Structure 1
Amino acid sequence: MSQEKKLDYSIDQETQLESGEFHEQNSYVSQSDASPVEGTRWERFRDSFKRADTQDLDPNLTDAEKMAILTANAPLKRTLKSRHLQMIAIGGAIGTGLFVGSGKALATAGPAGILIGWALTGTMIYCMVMAMGELAVTFPIAGGFTTYASRFVDESFGFAFNTIYMLQWLVVLPLEIVAASITVNYWGTPDKYRDGFVALFYVVIVAINFFGVKGYGEAEFIFSFIKVITVIGYIILGVILVCGGGPQGGYIGGRLWHNPGAFANGFKGVCSVFVTAAFSFAGSELVGLAAAETANPRKSLPSAAKQVFWRITLFYILALLMVGLLVPYTSDRLIGQSSVDAAASPFVISIQNAGIKGLPSVINVVILIAVLSVGNSAVFACSRSMAALANQGSLPKIFGYIDRTGRPLVGIIVTCVFGLLSFIAASPKEGEVFDWLLALSGLSSLFTWGGIMLCHIRVRRALAAQNRTTAELSFTAPTGVWGSVYGFVLIILILMAQFWIALFPIGDKPSASAFFEAYLSFPILIAFYIGHKIWKKNWKLFIRAKNIDIDTGRRETDIEALKQEIAEEKAFIASKPFYYRMYKFWC
C-alpha cells in the first residue's frame, strides 16, 4: 500500500480513537449508527441483528489493500477483558486430549514417553504463543492469525491455511456435541435418551454464542476455572497417593517406571505421542483470535500469552507425571470405546485404583464441561474465521456479515447449522462418518501453529528489509525469531513422524484407510494451495519482505510516540528489583 493511502487511513483511524468512536464501535460508521438505538426493548433487539455499516473503500485499492483495511476495521465488539484472556490462556485448551487422550498415549508410549512427547510439544507451543502474542498485540485485527498468513506470507498460503483452520472448527462442533452425549453414558444413561442430550448440549452452545463475544468470554471463564481447579486438585491428590497417603496406604514412588517400565514401544512409541499431545494443546491459539475483540490487547495479551508457560509446566507435565506414577501402561482399561470414554481416563483409573469413591464421577463431570467448552470455542473460532475469509475475498461477502452488536451472524448460523450433524448420533454409520470428518482436519492445529510462526519470521524479516526495528513493537516474543524457527522445524519433524506412524501403525498392518484417516488433511491443504494459485494466477511463493504492509491494523498510529512510551516502560521495569523483573518476564 502506498504511504499516502496508509497515511489517509491512519489519520482517519486516529481521529476516531481520539473521539472515542473507534474504541466503542471498531468500525467506520455514520454518526446516527454510533448513537444508542432508541425505541422499545423489542425494537432494540430487532435492530441489533442489522448489519453494522462500514467505510466505503477506494475502488483503486488492490485486493490485498482492501483485505488489510477491512480486517483492521471490522465492527467486532471489544468487550473481552483481561480476566477472560487470562483464563482462556490458562485453561482454554485443557480438555479430553489431556483427561482421556493421555490414556491411549500412556498405553502406546509409557510414562517416560508421554513426558518426552508432551514436553517437546510444549516447548513448540510456548514459542508459538509468544510469536502470536507479538503479532496480535501489534496487529489486533479481525481474524487474527488467520489474516496474517495472507498479509505476511502469501495469499494462496493464507487461503489454504485459513480454510483448513475453519474446517477444523466446523467439524469439531458436531463431534464435541456427540462426545458430550457419550460422556453421559458413564452413569449408565439409556441409549434412547442420546438424541435428547444432543439437543440439550446443542441449545446450550448455540445460546452462549448468540450472546456475542461477552457470552463466549464469560462461559470460557467459568469452564476454564473449573478445569484448572480440577487439575490442581488432581496433582495434589496424586502427590499424596504416590507418597502412600491413600485409603489403601503403601508407598508407590517410581515403582511403575521399573515394572512394567518407562517406555512401551521405544522410539516409535514416543513418535506416536506427538499428535495426541498436539491435540491436547489445540485451542492454545484462540487468545490471538480474540485480540480484535479485546478492550486493551496491548496490556492484556502479553500477560495472557506468558501464562502458557505455567499451564504447560504445572497442568500438563505435573499431571502426566502423576498419571505415569499411578497407572501402569499395561492396564487394559486405558483403551476406551471412544475419545471421551471417561472409564479410559487415566485420571479416573488412578483414583479408582486408590480405592476412592465418588471422585471418578466428579472427573467425568469435568470431562463433560471440557467437551462443552471445546464446542463453545468451535462456534467462536469458526464464525470469526469465516468472516475473515469473506473479508479476504475467499468466501462470498455474505459470510462477512457482522451485526450491530459485533456478532459475525452468518458465520455463527452456518456453523450452528452444520452442528445439526450431531443428531446422527443414533445412526449405525455415526462412527464412520465422524472418523472421516475428523480426518479432514486432523493435522490442522499443527498447520495453524506452523503458519503463525512463519508469519512471525516474515514480519521480523519485513522490519529488517524496511530499515525498522523491534523498538516499535509493544511486545516482543521472549523467544525471539529463533524460537519461531525452532518451533517451525519441530512441527515439520512431528509431521514426518506422524507420516511414519500413519504408514506403519503400531501393532497393526499398513492400510490405505488407516493412512488417510490420519493424514488426509495434508493432501487437502496442498490441493487448496495449488487450486488457489491456479484460480488467482498467483505464481509468487512469498510476498517480498520490502512490500509487506506492517502498518495497517495498528491501534497506535504514532510510531515515534509509541517507541518513546515503550522505552519508558522498559526503563521503569529495569529500575525495579530482580524479583520484580523476573515476575514481569514470566507473568
Structure 2
Amino acid sequence: MSDIEKQVKSGYEETSSTVSHTGVNPVSSPIYSYKTSGSKWQNFRDSFKRVEIEELDPNLTEAERVAIATANSPLKRHLKNRHLQMIAIGGAIGTGLFVGSGSSLRTAGPAGLLIGYGISSTFILCMICALGELAVEFPVSGGFTTYCTRFVDESFGFAANLNYAIQWLVVLPLEIVAASITVNYWGTPKKYRDGFVALFYVVIVVINLFGVKGYGEAEFVFSIIKVTCVIGFIICGICLVCGVRGGYIGGTYWHAPYGAFVGDTPGARFKGTMSVFTSAAFAFAGSELVGLASAETANPRKTLPSACKQVFWRITIFYIVSLTLIGLLVSHKDSRLIGSSSVDAAASPFVIALVSHGIKGLPSVVNVVICIAVLSVGNSAVYACSRTLSAFSEQGYAPKWMNLEYVDRAGRPLVGIIITSVFGLLCFIAASDKEGDVFNWLMALSGLSSLFTWGGICLCHIRFRRALSAQGRATDELSFASPVGVGGSYYGLFVIILVFIAEFWVAAWPTGYKEMTTGAIVENFFEIYLSFPIVLVCYLGHKIYKRNWTIFIPASDMDIDTGRREVDLEQLKADIAQEKAEIAAKPIYKRVWHLLC
C-alpha cells in the first residue's frame, strides 16, 4: 500500500480493495468501521463522531488529491440491488408526473405533451447508459459531479457540483409545501397547514438520520406504493377510454373543438411543445440518483448495469403510457388544470381524470400517493444534496471552515444533512400569502438544472472514452459498456443543447409577448431560464478566480484508474470475456433480454 493512501486512526478497522494497472500505482478504496463498546445509547452517541482520517501527501497534484479523496470517502456500502432499482424510480416519479404534467397538458395539448416527454425519454436513455458505465467503473463519492472535475475541467466540475446542490436544496422545501397543500383536497383548514409541514419535514429528516440504509429502505417502500398507483391508474384509464364504464371516449380530446396541440399557428404550437421540456426535466429529475448512490453500493458491477437499463424502461413505460391516457381522458382546456408547476393536488390530471368520469374513492387514494411521492422526492433531496455537498468539499471547492466533508461513524455526511435540512425550513412559507411567488422562483432555480446535469454526464462519458483511446486502452476492460455507446452520448448532448436553445427562444419571446409589458417578459425569462445564467456565472467565475483558461483536461493526462474497485484488470478482462461467451451461447430471446434489461 502506498504512502499517499489514507489510514484509519487507532481504534478503527479498515478493509480495502486495490486497483492496479500496468504502470499505475495501486490506490485503495477503504471502507471504514469502528469497534463499538458500552451501552446502545453510548454507541448511538458515538456514531455521530467523525471518522478521522489522516491528511493526504501534500506533494500530490490537485487532480491526484481530488481523485483519491473521493475514491476513499468513508461512506457506508449498504445499498442493495432492490434499493438501487427503486431509488431511481422513486426519484423520478413524483409531483412532476402526478401534478406537473397537468401544466404541460394545458400549455402544449395531448400531442405536444407526448412529443416533449417522448424526446426527453430518448436522451434520458443515453444519459442513463453513460452514467451506468461510469458509475460501475468509478463508484466514488459525488458520482457524476466528481466525473465532471476528473474528465472535463475543474471549473466545469465546480459549476456542475454547485448546480446540482442548489437543485436539490430548492426541491426539498418545494416538495414539503406540496405535501401540505395536498391535504387541502379533503377540506383541511389552512390553519393546520403548518402542522402538516412540520410532520412531513420531521419524517424526511429522521429517515436520513438512519443513514443510507434507512434511506434505501424508505425509498423501496415509497416507490412500490407509487408504482402500484401508476399501474392501477393505467388499468383503470384503459377501461375508461375503451368505454367499459360509460360511453366510448377514444381520441375525442385530440379532435375539434379541443385539438391535439395548443395554438392556432405552427409557431405557437412549437413554443407550447418546447415548454414541455422544462416540466419534463423537473419530472425526470432524480433518474440519475442511481449514479450518485454507486459509492454506497456493495457490488456496483453486478447491480448497477441492470438497475440503469431497467430504470429507463420502467420510467418510460410509466410516463408515456400514463400520459397518453391522461391526454385521452382530460381536455387541455379543462379549467382545473394548473397554469404552472406549483402543486395543488386537486389540479392533478390523474385526479381530474378519475373525478370527471365518475370514479369514486380512487381520487383520494391518488392524493394519498401524491403525499407519499412528495415525501419520497423530499427524502431523495436530502440524500442527494448532502452527498453532493460532501463531494463538493472533498474536491476542494468549499472553504475548510465549513467542514462539508464531515462523515460520521455511521457513514452519514452529517454537515451536508444539517445544511440541507436547515434550508428545508423554507417550507414554512406555506403559511405566507407570498407562497406562490416564492414557489415560482424556487422552480426557476431548479427548472433547467437537470438538463445541465444530464448534458454534463454525457460529456463526461465522451471525454472518458476519449481518454481510453488516447492512452491506448480499449472498452474490453470495462465491466459494463453503455449499450448505446459513445454515439448515444453525442446524441444526448446534442439534443440537450438544442433544448437549451429552444427554451431560450420560448423564454425570451413567449407566446403573446407583443401584448406583454417589458417587466412581464423579463420575469417570464428568468422564471424559465434562471438556472442557465447561474451555471454560466459559476463556470466563468471559477475560471477567472483560478486563472485556468483550458477548456478540457488533455485526454492523455486523465486519471482513469483511481476509484476502481476491481483488484486485477487483467483478471477482469478474462471474466468479462467469459461472461460474453456465456451470453452468446444463450437463446436469442435471452440475449435480447440481457441487452435491454
Question: Above 0.5 in TM-score?
Answer: yes
Distance in 2 of aligned mates of 1:434 and 1:110: 24
- Deviation string, structure 1 residues 181-236 (Cα, Å, up to 9, x no partner): 11111111111111111111110000000000011101111111111111111111
Q: Amino acid of the residue matched to residue 542 of structure 2?
A: H
User: In the alignment, is the contact (CA less than 8 A) between 2:127 and 2:492 conserved in 1?
Assistant: yes
Distance change >3 Å, CA 169–CA 199, structure 1 → 2: same
User: In the alignment, is the contact (CA less than 8 A) between 1:28 and 1:54 conserved in 2?
Assistant: no
Q: Amino acid of the residue matched to residue 462 of structure 2?
A: I
Match of 2:250 among 253, 259, 262: 253
Q: Amino acid of the residue matched to residue 125 of structure 2?
A: Y
Offset of 1:10 from its aligned partner?
10
- Deviation string, structure 1 residues 387-417 (Cα, Å, up to 9, x no partner): 0010011113310000111000000011111
Matches within 5 A, 1:307-346: 307-335=310-338, 339-346=342-349
Query: Would you say 1:263 and 2:268 are equivalent positions?
Result: no
Match of 1:446 among 451, 467, 476: 451
Distance in 1 of aligned mates of 2:6 and 2:534: 41
Distance in 2 of aligned mates of 1:489 and 1:296: 33
Q: Amino acid of the residue matched to residue 492 of structure 2?
A: G
Distance change >3 Å, CA 338–CA 530, structure 1 → 2: closer
Question: SS state of the match for residue 366, structure 1?
Answer: helix
Distance change >3 Å, CA 578–CA 28, structure 1 → 2: closer
1:108 matched residue in structure 2: 107
Match of 1:472 among 464, 477, 481: 477
Distance in 2 of aligned mates of 1:450 and 1:113: 23
Matches within 5 A, 1:239-250: 239-246=238-245, 249-250=246-247
Query: Would you say 1:48 and 2:47 are equivalent positions?
Result: yes
Offset of 1:35 from its aligned partner?
4.7
1:572 matched residue in structure 2: 582
Q: Amino acid of the residue matched to residue 369 of structure 1?
A: I
- Deviation string, structure 1 residues 131-176 (Cα, Å, up to 9, x no partner): 0000000000000001000000000000011101101111111111
- Deviation string, structure 1 residues 84-139 (Cα, Å, up to 9, x no partner): 01122334311111111111111111111111111100001010000000000000
Distance in 1 of aligned mates of 2:537 and 2:223: 37
Offset of 1:557 from its aligned partner?
3.3
**Larger % of helix: which?**
1
Distance in 1 of aligned mates of 2:298 and 2:453: 25
Question: SS state of the match for residue 217, structure 1?
Answer: helix
Question: SS state of the match for residue 86, structure 1?
Answer: helix
Offset of 1:309 from its aligned partner?
3.1
Query: Would you say 1:502 and 2:501 are equivalent positions?
Result: no
2:560 matched residue in structure 1: 550
Match of 1:412 among 417, 429, 444: 417
Distance in 2 of aligned mates of 1:173 and 1:353: 32
Q: Amino acid of the residue matched to residue 255 of structure 2?
A: H
Number of residue pairs matched?
569
Question: SS state of the match for residue 351, structure 1?
Answer: helix
1:145 matched residue in structure 2: 144
Structure 1 stretch displaced more, 497-506 or 297-306: 497-506
Q: Amino acid of the residue matched to residue 343 of structure 2?
A: V
Query: Would you say 1:528 and 2:538 are equivalent positions?
Result: yes
Distance in 1 of aligned mates of 2:504 and 2:387: 31
1:213 matched residue in structure 2: 212
User: In the alignment, is the contact (CA less than 8 A) between 1:28 and 1:55 conserved in 2?
Assistant: no
1:278 matched residue in structure 2: 281
Structure 1 stretch displaced more, 110-119 or 255-264: 255-264
User: In the alignment, is the contact (CA less than 8 A) between 1:334 and 1:344 conserved in 2?
Assistant: yes
- Deviation string, structure 1 residues 342-369 (Cα, Å, up to 9, x no partner): 2211111111121111111111111111
- Superposition TM-score, scaled by structure 1 size: 0.94
User: In the alignment, is the contact (CA less than 8 A) between 1:126 and 1:308 conserved in 2?
Assistant: no
Offset of 1:524 from its aligned partner?
1.2
1:3 matched residue in structure 2: none
Question: SS state of the match for residue 126, structure 2?
Answer: helix
Distance in 2 of aligned mates of 1:9 and 1:262: 66
Distance change >3 Å, CA 483–CA 28, structure 1 → 2: closer
Question: SS state of the match for residue 368, structure 2?
Answer: helix
- Deviation string, structure 1 residues 295-319 (Cα, Å, up to 9, x no partner): 1111010011011332243201110
User: In the alignment, is the contact (CA less than 8 A) between 1:28 and 1:53 conserved in 2?
Assistant: no
Match of 2:16 among 5, 22, 30: 22
User: In the alignment, is the contact (CA less than 8 A) between 1:96 and 1:339 conserved in 2?
Assistant: no
Distance in 2 of aligned mates of 1:342 and 1:251: 27
2:25 matched residue in structure 1: none
Offset of 1:434 from its aligned partner?
3.4
Distance in 2 of aligned mates of 1:559 and 1:403: 32
Distance in 2 of aligned mates of 1:333 and 1:37: 57
2:95 matched residue in structure 1: 96
Offset of 1:336 from its aligned partner?
5.8
Structure 1 stretch displaced more, 230-239 or 426-435: 426-435
Q: Amino acid of the residue matched to residue 268 of structure 1?
A: K
User: In the alignment, is the contact (CA less than 8 A) between 2:458 and 2:490 conserved in 1?
Assistant: yes
Distance in 2 of aligned mates of 1:232 and 1:34: 41
Query: Would you say 1:491 and 2:490 are equivalent positions?
Result: no
Question: SS state of the match for residue 215, structure 1?
Answer: helix
- Superposition TM-score, scaled by structure 2 size: 0.92
Distance change >3 Å, CA 313–CA 517, structure 1 → 2: closer
Structure 1 spans left out of the alignment, 5+ residues: 1-6, 14-18
Question: SS state of the match for residue 404, structure 1?
Answer: coil
Distance in 2 of aligned mates of 1:329 and 1:138: 45
Distance change >3 Å, CA 441–CA 347, structure 1 → 2: closer
Q: Which runs of 4+ in 1 moved over 6 A?
A: 9-13
Offset of 1:288 from its aligned partner?
0.3
User: In the alignment, is the contact (CA less than 8 A) between 1:124 and 1:487 conserved in 2?
Assistant: yes
Structure 2 spans left out of the alignment, 5+ residues: 8-12, 18-27, 264-268
Q: Amino acid of the residue matched to residue 356 of structure 2?
A: N
Q: Amino acid of the residue matched to residue 264 of structure 1?
A: V
Distance in 2 of aligned mates of 1:244 and 1:175: 38
1:287 matched residue in structure 2: 290
Identity score, percent: 67
Please report the RMSD computed on the Cα atoms of aligned residues, expressed in angstroms. 1.9
Q: Amino acid of the residue matched to residue 343 of structure 1?
A: A
Distance change >3 Å, CA 295–CA 274, structure 1 → 2: same
Q: Amino acid of the residue matched to residue 440 of structure 1?
A: L
Match of 1:387 among 366, 385, 390: 390
User: In the alignment, is the contact (CA less than 8 A) between 2:100 and 2:340 conserved in 1?
Assistant: no
Q: Amino acid of the residue matched to residue 134 of structure 1?
A: E
